[in-house]
Structure 1
Amino acid sequence: MSSYNIALNFEDGVTRFVECKAGEKVLDAAFRAKINLPMDCSDGVCGTCKCHAESGTYDLGDDYIEDALTDDEKESGLVLTCQMVPQSDCVIAVPASSTSCKTEHSKFGATVTSIEQHKDAAVVLELDVDGPAPVFLAGQYVNIDVPGSGQHRSYSFSSTPGASKISFLIKKIPGGVMSTWLESAQPGNKVELTGPMGIFYLRAVERPLLLLAGGTGLAPFLSMLEVLVRANSQQKVHLIYGVTRDLDLVLVEAIQAYTEKLPNFTFSTVVADAESSHPRKGWVTQHMPADCLNDGDVDVYLCGPPPMVDAVRKYFDDNGVKPNSFHYEKFTPNVVPKTHEHPKV
């Protein structure tokens, strides 16, 4: 008998995965996992359990009344979890906080396996998870407790969902809590992680993608690209990777490898430093080919520091660019990422 992984994304950024057995309704699967999704009647009458299915296939049956879920709502992806029977893995946005649903972040331990230095720009941290491989959506992040500090830092997975070996691309910050610990950390050291979290993740790929990475904001896109490879995606995907200095261009070989793995993948790199000899200098907005915007029929994902996010948003506004959807994540050192979604209106 088949079962499916159902990702429940709560309003406060917490994601919990539940196993839904064949023929089982999502509300029942969540209750079995001790997650109290919003509900009242559980009979398809009140509409209290209404959520938004962001991806996956499912059956809603015909045992609910239209007052609970109209045809227009159904067409827009709204579902009643008391009636929804998944037929594949699904992602569901829950219009409630995790605490109100009596659930919380998942915690897990891991062991350092390697720490790869990339000059003074970044570190690739690889960990072996001590228990079952973590399930997450490509693009999401975790909080990593920095040993001995009593503090944590937030980093996006650069590895593939479901793998027992996980990795992170971490910006070097002189005097930073994580950077300081990494200077002396060794394979075999233990760390604790909390997550996954965040609403910045790869949605169903139904049109061309434009991926915009700023510095170590490249991390979630490495995870997304691997997911696209595994799905044998044929959509056009263009990645623009912008950095401040030449030394900040890390893992370019890893990106290059995807031009062989993905049939319609292209990428370019941009360096802001005016003294650089790089062929493309300036900002990513100055090197954004019109064809990668596909007259608006494109989904845009952006992960970078706030000035980059603001510059891209301004560029789109000033030039009348209205992508089908625009998902972006701002990050600053020592601050939990802020994620946003701007669908076309």
Structure 2
Amino acid sequence: MACYKIALNFEDGVTRFIDCKAGEKVLDAAFRNRINLPMDCSDGVCGTCKCRAESGAYDLGSDYIEDALSEDEAGEGLVLTCQMVPSSDCVLSVPTTSFACKTGQQSFAATVAGITPHNDAAIVLELDVDAAAQAPVFLPGQYVNIDVPGSGLTRSYSFSSAPGERRIGFLIKKIPGGVMSSWLARARTGDRLDITGPLGSFYLRNDERPLLMLAGGTGLAPFLSMLEVLARAGSQQKVHLIYGVTRDLDLVLVEELERYATRLPNFSFATVVADRASSHPRKGWVTEHMPADMPADGDFDVYLCGPPPMVDAVRRHFDETGVRPANFHYEKFTPNAVLKESA
């Protein structure tokens, strides 16, 4: 019997995944998984269970009234979970908190499998999920909170690996004296880490139109996860990534992008170094190196992950040029806290 994976994204950033059987309504599947989605009637009359379908295929049937869900609302992707029967994996935005639905963040443990420094700029951390835990399921682009042993503190990092793998990866900015950087300097293979997540509203949606990806520094991490998912799906969509850094030494994992250029037929990328004294062929800001063939009518989606000044500069660029992307998803981060603002 077919079974579909439904991602429930709550207002507080928590994401929970449930399995929905063929012919089963999402509300029933949520209750079966002990998640109390909002509802009053469960008959398509009150509209209390209204959510937004971000992606996926489904049937709403006809057993609901106009007052509960209008034709215009349905056309905009709003659904009644008491009537929604998925026919594929789906992503739903739930207009309330995980706490209100009597659920919360998921936690799991992992052990260090590898620590690879890249110049003085970044560290690739690979972890093996404990055998007793399920391989983490997340949306490509999302992040987790990792407890830093002995510090009582957590740090947030986006997955650089694909969902569902037992070995997971992260690209971490190396910060002299930083809590995580200091721990990684003395960590050993087999050391245990406690992790909470997935979290965040920055993730890859359906690739229905050309994609422009803009990465700043270690903001490259979520795009590596997205590109892996696109490659495995055999995506034919046009994708261009601009990877901007401050110094030459900050350019890491470029060989990974080169590999994706061979696996994804319509993927291209450009690297940009802000340091004007660099010998790199492209210097300056990412906004100075936007693709010349970007559709003027805005028929493309933008994904942006970088420090706040970069995010603000890109938003100003689109405002000043009058270009309005069909969708603009962004994530701001600071060196010590990833995903403090998403849209």
TM-score by shorter chain over 0.5 = yes
2:266 alignment partner AA: N
Give the aligned partner of residue 27 of structure 2.
27
DSSP-derived class of the 1:187 partner: coil
Q: What whole-Å deviation, never above 9, does each CA across 1:56-105 have from its counterpart, x for those lacking one?
A: 11111111111111111111110000011111110000000111111100
- How far apart are residue 294 of structure 1 and its match? 5.2
Q: What whole-Å deviation, never above 9, does each CA across 1:98-137 have from its counterpart, x for those lacking one?
A: 1111110000000110000101100000001112110000
Give the aligned partner of residue 148 of structure 2.
146
- How far apart are residue 21 of structure 1 and its match? 1.0
The aligned runs of 1:282-321 (5 Å cut-off) are 282-293=284-295, 295-321=297-323
- How far apart are residue 295 of structure 1 and its match? 3.3
DSSP-derived class of the 1:311 partner: helix
DSSP-derived class of the 2:297 partner: helix
Give the aligned partner of residue 243 of structure 1.
245
Question: Could you tell me whether the CA contact under 8 Å between 2:158 and 2:338 is conserved in 1?
Answer: no
Question: Could you tell me whether the CA contact under 8 Å between 1:327 and 1:339 is conserved in 2?
Answer: no
1:47 alignment partner AA: G
Partners of 2:5 and 2:291 in 1: CA distance:
37
Question: Could you tell me whether the CA contact under 8 Å between 2:60 and 2:84 is conserved in 1?
Answer: yes
Partners of 2:269 and 2:308 in 1: CA distance:
22
Q: What whole-Å deviation, never above 9, does each CA across 1:116-165 have from its counterpart, x for those lacking one?
A: 01011000000011121100000000000001111000000000011111
2:298 alignment partner AA: G
Give the aligned partner of residue 185 of structure 1.
187
Question: Could you tell me whether the CA contact under 8 Å between 1:49 and 1:80 is conserved in 2?
Answer: yes
DSSP-derived class of the 1:28 partner: helix
Partners of 2:5 and 2:292 in 1: CA distance:
38
Partners of 1:23 and 1:70 in 2: CA distance:
23
- How far apart are residue 328 of structure 1 and its match? 0.3
Give the aligned partner of residue 233 of structure 2.
231
- How far apart are residue 339 of structure 1 and its match? 3.8
1:63 alignment partner AA: D
Q: What whole-Å deviation, never above 9, does each CA across 1:172-219 have from its counterpart, x for those lacking one?
A: 011100000000011100000000000000001100000000000000
Partners of 2:293 and 2:49 in 1: CA distance:
41
Question: Could you tell me whether the CA contact under 8 Å between 1:158 and 1:221 is conserved in 2?
Answer: yes
2:309 alignment partner AA: P
2:94 alignment partner AA: V
1:88 alignment partner AA: S
Give the aligned partner of residue 66 of structure 2.
66
DSSP-derived class of the 1:100 partner: coil
Give the aligned partner of residue 161 of structure 1.
163
User: How many pairs does the alignment contain?
Assistant: 341
1:172 pairs with 2:163: no
The aligned runs of 1:1-345 (5 Å cut-off) are 1-130=1-130, 131-293=133-295, 295-341=297-343
Question: Could you tell me whether the CA contact under 8 Å between 2:332 and 2:338 is conserved in 1?
Answer: no
Partners of 1:280 and 1:336 in 2: CA distance:
27
Q: What whole-Å deviation, never above 9, does each CA across 1:287-329 have from its counterpart, x for those lacking one?
A: 1123134531100000000010011011111111100010000
Partners of 1:333 and 1:339 in 2: CA distance:
13
Partners of 1:164 and 1:265 in 2: CA distance:
27
Partners of 2:172 and 2:53 in 1: CA distance:
32
Question: Could you tell me whether the CA contact under 8 Å between 1:198 and 1:339 is conserved in 2?
Answer: no
Question: Could you tell me whether the CA contact under 8 Å between 1:9 and 1:15 is conserved in 2?
Answer: yes
Partners of 2:294 and 2:195 in 1: CA distance:
37
Partners of 1:8 and 1:81 in 2: CA distance:
11
2:128 alignment partner AA: D
Partners of 1:336 and 1:95 in 2: CA distance:
23
Unpaired segments ≥5 residues, structure 1:
none
DSSP-derived class of the 2:342 partner: strand
Q: What whole-Å deviation, never above 9, does each CA across 1:11-50 have from its counterpart, x for those lacking one?
A: 1110000111111111111111111111000000000000
Partners of 1:8 and 1:263 in 2: CA distance:
32
Question: Could you tell me whether the CA contact under 8 Å between 2:14 and 2:198 is conserved in 1?
Answer: yes
Task: Assess, with a 3 A threshold, how the Cα gap between structure 1 residues 293 and 282 changes in structure 2: closer, same or farther.
Answer: farther
